[in-house]
Amino acid sequence: MSNTQEQRDFLRKRCSLILPGFRPISPAEEFRRLADWCEANHVDHDHYGVGASVEGFEQKIATLLGKPAAVFMPSGVMAQLAAVRIHTQSARLDRFGIHPTSHLASHEEEAYAALFRWHAVPIGDRLRPMVASDLEAIRQPLACAIVELPIREAGGQLPTWAELEALKAAASDRDMPLHMDGARLWESAAYYDRSHVDIASGFESVYVSLYKGIGAVSGAMLAGTDAFIAEARLWRRRLGGTLYHFGPMVASAAMRFDARLASMPALYRRTLALATALRSLGGLRVNPAVPHTNMLHLWFDAPADAVMEARDRIAEESGQWLINAVRPAEVPRWSMTEMYVGDALLGADDDRVLPFFTRLCEQMKRR
């Protein structure tokens, strides 16, 4: 009989090694670290975002992205709605372009349509990143186009550097602003072996997450020109996002930001090695076969319930949690999961990990 979600959550917490992502810490541990860091760095409260701790971190992110200014946002949803509002207002056109698997289309309850009556035009193929020819195929005018780097729903794929530069040029030729959905931009620089400034160049605005990859309790940044960010601050207030204190969210990002950013190349190298090892297993496929970031998708030649039951059995027997949520794939009787490589896998080499994935494949086949 399959475990309930509550039983699985309890089982996961009991495991001595949880492979996906970064080592989880309790709220109490997070708050103790936060208090110690704030005391060591003499952090004072901000008031509605005004204060050295918040403004200094905003400028740090702006400089890292090669933009004049940045503004903290409580969520990525708010950051991107504000960005698109500014671009559509400037163009006097309530139509913008998105990748078919964009977060705006898949995870935000159609907020752009419900709140602003915008029309989103899909650009490109959902199984790969947006490229210049995709943009050129859209003949109707667009206020802006949102480019997601990397494409999460396609296993963290990125365009090649040449493809990215060609996409920027195609948008420039049409005098069309590009906005970057850079929720996982921090994970992308290792693949390109270029600076964040180089990657963000050519984008009029850039959104980056502070909890995806970085690990803050919450929050995002939106970067652009001084005039753009002044408008974004206005829209943050209009959307109810100018909170009395941003300090706790900003500090939880700032205290770990440099270390997390510095770890990304090692995480990418570990992902490449893991993918090579997993490709040798029958009944499992890696997408992309050679990862572009420290995340990838694993596809199983078995139904989702069979994979999860095999995972649970291994967790019960060995205390090793191999994968998180598994969902049915579009191909009947296939399923897939997302694997994000964090510090847990940096400390567990393939000789330790691969036998458990071999058992997973064997047990799901028997099931």
Taking only the tens place, the pLDDT of each residue in 298-310 is: 999 999 999 999 9
Taking only the tens place, the pLDDT of each residue in 87-141 is: 999 999 999 999 999 999 988 888 999 999 999 999 999 999 999 999 999 999 9
Q: Give the residue from 359, 247, 260 showing the smallest Cα distance to 310.
A: 359
Sorted by sequence, the CB contacts under 8 Å of residue 306 that are 6+ apart come out as 335, 364, 367
Taking only the tens place, the pLDDT of each residue in 300-346 is: 999 999 999 999 999 999 999 999 999 999 899 999 999 999 999 99
* In contact, 359 and 320? CB cutoff 8 Å: no
CB atoms within 10 A of CB 126: 13
- Residue 1 pLDDT level (bands cut at 50, 70, 90): low
The correct answer on CATH 2.60.40.10 for the domain covering 43-245 is: no
Domain borders along the chain are 5-24+263-366, 43-245
What is the helix (H) or strand (E) element at residue 106, kind and residue range? Answer: helix 103-106
How far is the C-alpha of 13 from the C-alpha of 315, rounded, in Å? 10
Is the previous residue joined to 150 through a cis bond, with omega within 30 degrees of 0?
Answer: yes
This prediction has a pTM of 0.95
Options 3.30.720.210, 3.90.1150.10, 3.50.30.10, 3.30.70.980; CATH of 5-24+263-366 = 3.90.1150.10
